[in-house]
Chain A
């Protein structure tokens, strides 16, 4: 039904373009030079008038239809059903929807459900038909009206281009809307969380055990939401990742930019980029199923007690993932150091490594710091590696051989599975998400500022 309607609409729009174009050609009987705009613009203008109002109508209908039909079904139900508590009423409607769709319901459908289902089916059919009629008549109406306005001197191009420009602006606003959506949704849910748990407890508490009872009558702990162990766990894994990524990435960048022959560079650089292109879930599998057991065995050989979900395994693999990130950013900054500085140093008799250590790296330092900060923000926000290889329990420890948890792991474990949007447990994930978003935002802004200022210095 909806597919048929959509096809019809597309056909209508296409025919609108065609009639508009032909009309323009007919108006300009003595050649197109008397037309203000090219015939295809006349066609596009008619097509816009045919399609746009119908599209607006369609979106509005999709948004309103379920609520409207539900309200009509409810009002047709007998009084004693209508006066049921809202949860019970919603269940009746839900069952009715299933019956109308021919599915099985959890409970044996009662008479009121069957009646509602019948009503629902009838209303949906009528409403669907009425809407289809309305939609098509709006489209045809727009088409005929627009077609009747075509004249040789009609400024179709200006109008069409204005519409296109408006849509271009609208597309570029999507980026802003996304940010606004992220900020609003995080803040909205976080505020609800902070109504249940005080911000001071969240930011300063040292115990994290978010397992609250789901139903009021259940036995269970009330949950503790002190996020310090989670933050410190994130910090520990990030530090381990940086300890792997920064030296390896930086030395590779130095070698590639100052030592390697162009041929080596042409081979090694893309190979390093492959590391960046591997999906994080693959690193997660690698960390959880290959690296962690290996570390554990190795630790046993040394007589150390290594947790099977140690921070070291997750951090090291995350470090490997970030190597290409650090190396390609540092490579850019190191290459941007003017060669006059290098040549001056060589002229004084310094060796290559002395030049790099004493001249190039200090000159590139701000850029390298910026690259490192960006890498830290990547590490903090990385999810799959830690979800698969780091622990769930929030231990307050700095020992890399023990299991720690991170902000992203907690967000995933709190939100995957059954959710109830009024429990502190679910809302806590959004509070953590807000902290994560702010932390990465600040890191990015600082890093970008540092890098930009540095670039200006040498440009």
Chain B
């Protein structure tokens, strides 16, 4: 007996065994470290992604403005003194801006230098002055200090985005312009303000004037169409498949179809929209209506699958009780099953809508990539959507648009976070465990 024990100690307790065990434990620790490392990589990617977006996007929410002493010269704007909106609308507002700039730097002479000086101020200043005068014609003939946006190059310089150590020919702001900007800053005429234009205007060729409101409205209209189509159709299909459909080949076919549609690449839905909605039915290009229809077909499987799961989780006893007191099958569904399944259905729908909001590829196919300045006023007006706007700006060579791209991503992500939070809250607040 003692011998046997000694033997066992011999196999499991000698130097070789201890070494083996150490190796096995080391392998165990390594394996665990791989797992942690994998999670670390995924988390790191997320952090880097969000940090790089935030870092380059935050500056876009501020903007630099210049206070100019504008003289609304009656001779220039309205020589006949009519104060007719037509006359005022056609007048040249670039001259008062140039005059105000020239009065700040009386020493500047020569065409080239004047043009460089005028380049400090955004081209949008002219439009904003026109709007001001049209809204208040009594301004004509008076002087007032007006804040006008600086051009994107000057703005980028003030935000420290332009490397001044490069030779002059390799940057967008000349030495002389830098001197002017610093002079203006010294005189206290340059202010950094919150960029309301970015949130309230449509797209523009000038980065300092471009905003996301047009794209946001386009996205909203598109999502509205998507919701109106996919929610009722999806819930109805789920009700049919869960509550009424007989188990046969036909319903199997529908089921296989839905599962496959959920995995079809989104761009294929775009091809469908192009071939069927645009070419066959002749619906207008770039319209939120068509975008919404395509996205509705895309999100339909998500809505159906989520609704079926929610309906399935309602216990059969509820149906039987309702049937027992004389309700018809449809009354059972409408008055008992659907209200109980609604939180789950809504959660699934919101998640589907969030996916649709971030979708870009199918919208490219149906022409929602057009350069649209106006805020769309209906589901048939040409429009673009938030993710498409991000795509368009990311493609633009101007560095100021890079900032806008990241800022637009922040806005899009904010919408997505809100929607997902709503889904989570809905689930936690209303979902019942049976």
CB distance from A451 to the nearest CB of B (A): 11
Q: Which of B29-37, B119-127, B187-195 touches A?
A: B29-37
Residues of A within 8 A of B39 (CB): 251-252, 255-256, 268, 272
In contact, A415 and B274 (Cβ under 8 angstroms): yes
B420 at the interface (CB under 8 A from A): yes
In contact, A277 and B416 (Cβ under 8 angstroms): yes
B25 at the interface (CB under 8 A from A): yes
In contact, A182 and B38 (Cβ under 8 angstroms): no
Take A277-B354, A433-B267, A433-B268 as given contacts and tell me if A169 and B240 are in contact as well, using a CB distance cutoff of 8 Å. Answer: yes
Q: In whole angstroms, what is the CA distance A265 to B364 when docked?
A: 38
A165 at the interface (CB under 8 A from B): yes
Q: Which residue of A165, A176, A247, A283 is within 8 Å of B244 (Cβ)?
A: A165
B418 at the interface (CB under 8 A from A): no
Take A161-B328, A353-B27 as given contacts and tell me if A388 and B391 are in contact as well, using a CB distance cutoff of 8 Å. Answer: yes
Residues of B within 8 A of A320 (CB): 42, 45, 49
In contact, A255 and B237 (Cβ under 8 angstroms): no
C-beta contact mask, A407-432 vs B, less than 8 Å → 1, else 0?
01001100110000100000001100
B58 at the interface (CB under 8 A from A): no
Q: With CB as the reference atom, state the residue of chain B lying closest to A447.
A: B263
A189 at the interface (CB under 8 A from B): yes
In contact, A436 and B360 (Cβ under 8 angstroms): no
In contact, B260 and A274 (Cβ under 8 angstroms): no
Q: In whole angstroms, what is the CA distance A380 to B36 when docked?
A: 29
A448 at the interface (CB under 8 A from B): yes
In contact, A286 and B49 (Cβ under 8 angstroms): yes
Q: In whole angstroms, what is the CA distance A174 to B354 when docked?
A: 22
Residues of A within 8 A of B24 (CB): 351, 354
Q: In whole angstroms, what is the CA distance A276 to B359 when docked?
A: 13
Interface residues contributed by chain B, number (CB under 8 Å): 82
Q: Which residue of B42, B245, B264, B354 is within 8 Å of A275 (Cβ)?
A: B42
CB distance from B276 to the nearest CB of A (A): 5
Residues of B within 8 A of A174 (CB): 233, 237, 297, 300
In contact, B35 and A251 (Cβ under 8 angstroms): yes
Take A279-B359, A408-B267, A444-B260 as given contacts and tell me if A286 and B52 are in contact as well, using a CB distance cutoff of 8 Å. Answer: yes
Q: With CB as the reference atom, state the residue of chain B lying closest to A421.
A: B279
In contact, A168 and B35 (Cβ under 8 angstroms): no
In contact, A444 and B330 (Cβ under 8 angstroms): no
In contact, A380 and B265 (Cβ under 8 angstroms): yes
CB distance from B419 to the nearest CB of A (A): 10
A284 at the interface (CB under 8 A from B): yes
B409 at the interface (CB under 8 A from A): yes
Q: In whole angstroms, what is the CA distance A226 to B280 when docked?
A: 29
Q: Which residue of B38, B52, B240, B268 is within 8 Å of A168 (Cβ)?
A: B240
Residues of B within 8 A of A430 (CB): 271, 275
Q: With CB as the reference atom, state the residue of chain B lying closest to A161.
A: B330
Q: Which residue of B36, B46, B267 is within 8 Å of A412 (Cβ)?
A: B267
A383 at the interface (CB under 8 A from B): yes
A48 at the interface (CB under 8 A from B): no
In contact, B390 and A282 (Cβ under 8 angstroms): yes
Residues of A within 8 A of B31 (CB): 352-353, 356-357
Q: Which of B140-148, B172-180, B202-210, B250-258 touches A?
A: B250-258
Residues of B within 8 A of A168 (CB): 236-237, 239-240, 244
B41 at the interface (CB under 8 A from A): yes
Q: In whole angstroms, what is the CA distance A416 to B241 when docked?
A: 38
Take A178-B297, A182-B268, A248-B42 as given contacts and tell me if A279 and B416 are in contact as well, using a CB distance cutoff of 8 Å. Answer: yes
Residues of A within 8 A of B267 (CB): 381, 383, 408, 411-412, 433, 436
Q: In whole angstroms, what is the CA distance A189 to B32 when docked?
A: 53
A-B CB proximity, top 7 nearest? A381-B265, A279-B358, A255-B35, A251-B38, A185-B275, A353-B31, A171-B236
Interface pairs (25), CB distance under 8 Å: A172-B240, A172-B245, A179-B261, A182-B271, A251-B39, A252-B42, A280-B358, A280-B361, A284-B391, A289-B405, A323-B45, A351-B28, A353-B28, A353-B32, A377-B265, A380-B265, A381-B266, A382-B265, A383-B266, A383-B267, A384-B391, A411-B267, A415-B365, A436-B265, A441-B260
